[in-house]
Amino acid sequence: MPKSRSALAIVLAAGEGTRMKSDRPKALHEVAGRSMLANVLSSAVTAGVGRVAVIVGPGRDDVGAEARRSIADADIFVQSERLGTAHAVLAARAAIAEGCDDLLVLFADTPLVTAPTIGALRAALAGGAAVAVLGFWAANPFGYGRLLRDDAGRLVAIREEKDATDEERAVTLCNGGLMAIDGVEALRLLEKIDNKNAKGEFYLTDVVEFARAAGRETRVVIADETEVLGVNDRIQLAQAEALAQTRLRRAAMAGGATMIAPETVFLSADTVIGRDVTIEPHVVIGPGVEIADGAVIHAFSHLEGARVGERASVGPFARLRPGAALAEKAKVGNFVEIKNANVAPGAKVNHLSYIGDADIGANANIGAGTITCNYDGFLKYRTTIGENAFIGSNSSLVAPVTIGQGAYVGSGSVITKDVAPDALAVARGRQMEKAGWAVSFRMAQAAKKAKVE
């Protein structure tokens, strides 16, 4: 397909999704860590689409805002009435009138469509078709529009189930919904569509017959049935999530990562995983995570908005929150939480610690039970720990505070002031011992208990 061809994608996102039983519009429900709308827009951009128009329902500023989080200059149009797919597409009449080579119609509730499939639709137009329709062979065609072809295999029409004859209903080649239309002819073809059908709606599918009547070629592009799964309820949302996770896991393993039990690992659409990464069972990776070559993510860890450096180690049972950045060979161990903190090369936070809003220097060692006290109920403050510093177990570092390079903090200390490089800081109550106190205490308590009984 020539790179010079311009493309406009119209994404239909006006559905409220009543079957989702949700206050959230359907397009904003998530698959693989991002909204279904964002998934579709990402595929469109990857397929080389330069302009995007998103059709939203009345008062759905939230859907428009989500579109512009993905594509800053996306055009937003409102479909004031729901009178069918062609009516929805024509809500973007102004954008269509500006002209393009390829007009693509995509659906926000079909989140698994891939960039290569969108590219195949565009390639059909580049090859001379006026309309290219995405089809699939359905295991159970009930409810789908049927793609009717002539003896030469050319697309003749799309027949909705309610309007189909018994013979047409026997066809298992079904309409996936997505479509590409010659941008030069698009507006003229769309304006010909009427609502003389069983549902009284303006069917986008009628564009096929109008194109053929004008002597233009219409084609079918075949996709796998899983790719055109439409999401209308929570059950289908779960099915889409499962399919997306399978796709992401396979891509990660094909890229050189090892997953010991891949079916237990959950990734996000934007997860970046390097070569020779090992991910143990029951790991959840949320949006915004990058894992560099050779890192190990141990079992039952949860990562979101974090960067893991080369040959770093995370977990088991670790949590990396947004802003966590582990450098080369850094180690975050079991039951450790890191948030908005930098852990420099070779530094270790091995056990039972919370490190938030902090900078930990290279090769520093953070003892078990250490926490950075970063919040005073109103504002957050930062803790800085220098290279080769050693923080004893069960210490509390009250930010803002700096622990100098090579400094030691004694176990159980509450540090409220800066510690100089190479110094020892101990901040805890003095130990007191009373000989024989326990014997007299036990005798007194036993006598008291006997009186009660």
Per the annotation, where are the binding residues for UDP-N-acetyl-alpha-D-glucosamine?
A: 12-15, 26, 79, 84-85, 145, 160, 175, 232, 321, 339, 354, 365
Instruction: Report the DSSP pairing between strands 348-351 and 325-326.
Output: unpaired
- What does the alpha-carbon distance between residue 373 and residue 398 come to, in Å, rounded to a whole number? 5
All residues at 6 or more sequence positions from 442 whose CB lies less than 8 Å from its CB, including other chains = none
Q: Tell me how many degrees the CA angle 248-251-253 measures, rounded to the nearest 5.
A: 110
351 catalytically annotated: yes
Q: What share of the chain is helix, strand, coil (3-state, %, to 5)?
A: 25, 30, 45
In the annotated binding site for Mg(2+), the residues are 109, 232
First to last CA, the chain: 92
Report strand pairing: 371-373 vs 155-159: unpaired
CB count within 10 Å of CB 362 equals 18
The angle formed by the CA atoms of residues 367, 354 and 318, to the nearest 5 degrees, is: 95
Among 268, 411, 397, which residue's Cα sits nearest to residue 341?
A: 397
Give the CA count within 13 Å in the CB-facing half-sphere of 21.
5
Amino acid at residue number 15: G
Among the listed residues 29, 298, 302, 351, the single catalytic one is 351
Residues at the binding site for acetyl-CoA are 368, 374-375, 393, 411, 428
Please give the radius of gyration of the chain, using alpha carbons only, rounded to the nearest integer: 30
Instruction: Indicate which residues carry an active-site annotation.
Output: 351
